[in-house]
Amino acid sequence: MKILICEDDKITLKALKNKLKRDGYDIVTASNGKEAITILKDNDIDLLLTDLYMPFVDGLELISLVRDELKISIPIIVLTRDSIGKTIQNAFELGANDYITKPFNPDELSLRVKCQLIRNK
C-alpha cells in the first residue's frame, strides 16, 4: 500500500514517514499541495495524509482538487492543530474521511490509517 504524506513541517513529516514505514507502507512525500497534486497524477496512491495549513495549495484546496478535479476516491486523512471547528467541518464537506490532531499519537495514527485502507477495499 502506498501512502502520500503532504506536510510542510519537516519534523512532523519525518515522524509520520518513519512510523508508517515501520507499519509496512510505501511512503511518498510532498511538502505542499502543489507537489502532492503532481504526485497524485503520476502515481497510484492508496491513501492521502495531508496537513491543512501549507504554502501554495493548502489542505482544503488539495482535498477539493483530489475529489472534484482529479476524481480520485482514495481515503483522505487530515492532520490539523484545530481540535474541532469550521475548518474540520469544511474538510469533511470537501471529501476528507478522517482527521488526526497534532501532536498525534503514533498508535492512533496507525489505527486510523489501517481502518481507512480496510474501508476502501
The CATH number of whichever domain residue 112 belongs to comes to 3.40.50.2300
Query: pLDDT tens track of the chain, all 121 residues?
Result: 999 999 999 999 999 999 999 999 999 999 999 999 999 998 999 999 999 988 889 899 999 999 999 999 999 999 988 766 788 889 999 999 999 988 889 999 999 999 999 998 8
pTM surpassing 0.85?
yes
Can you give the residue range of the structural domain that contains 23? Answer: 2-120
As for how many domains the chain has, the answer is: 1
Assign 104 to helix, strand or coil. Answer: coil
> How distant, in Å, are the alpha carbons of 13, 27, 38, 85, 112 from that of 20?
11, 7, 22, 27, 11
User: Side chain identity at 75, as an amino acid letter?
Assistant: P
79 with 7: CB under 8 angstroms? yes
